[in-house]
Amino acid sequence: MKLELSSAFWRSGYSIADKRFRASVSSRVFLSFMVCCMGAFASPANSEDLPAEDSAPSSKGNLSGLYVTAGVGANWPIDRVGEGDPGSFTEFSTPGFSTEVGIGYDFKPVRLELTCALDASKLEGYNSVTGRNYKYSQGGQTRKDSAFASIYWDLLPSKRLSPYIGVGIGISFLDVGAFADPGLSYQGYSKSLLGYQAKAGLSYAIDYKSKVFAEAVYRGTSGYGTDDGYDKWDNSSFSSWGAQIGLRIGL
């Protein structure tokens, strides 16, 4: 019976009223669909819609260019040569801790920063004027506090991911505590020296105001003289290689 009624329905065809009704419904569905699509395209994109290769969003949120920066990492002091009347010796230190904080201004692609940096390590030993190696048995805590004015160049300032290079100059306050080897004890010393640094790094914009970075650092000082209680020495730069990770936040 159902098959016969269905066949009769298709043979009779649609009435004019049915066709108008269905056309009206189809038009309304189509218009609703178009409105939904237009609304979706008109809605603002969220941060996930920005592909990594697009322009970095920092320029939209950091209109002033002012930012604060902080980094933390490690340093590996370079062996130092001391020259005196008895001859020359080479002194070396253990790896240590480093950190840096400050404020900067981004002119795009150039940035200027004023920072305070700390490099801490410990004297490990030395090769004497006779070439014999000695290990310090105690003491020798080393702290180098520096203030730098630095300039940086962001190579790809409009990208999320950008390498950069920079140099800085300032003043370093070097403090070395008293130390001893198995047979002798030596006086510590404190010095105010010319300080300088050079960096190469990579930054990534995580949002409109913030960037994370990783960088390699070289820091050094001018030469200096010391008196360990036995002899006077002219020492080369107290310098180190380092690595830091950190964050810059726009204000």
pLDDT tens, residue by residue, 221-237: 999 999 888 888 999 89
| Distance between CA atoms of residues 196 and 164, nearest Å | 17
Q: What is the pTM (predicted TM-score) of this model?
A: 0.74
**Phi/psi at 168 (nearest 5 deg)?**
-150, 160
Q: Does 54 score more than 60 pLDDT?
A: no
pLDDT in tens, 103-162: 999 999 999 999 999 999 999 999 999 989 999 999 999 999 999 999 999 999 989 999
Tokens of 152: 């940086």
pLDDT in tens, 15-41: 444 444 444 444 443 344 333 333 433
Q: What is the pLDDT of residue 230?
A: 83
Tokens of 47: 């941060």
The residue behind tokens 């603002």 is 44
Segment holding 165, helix H or strand E: strand 161-176
Q: What is the pLDDT of residue 77?
A: 97
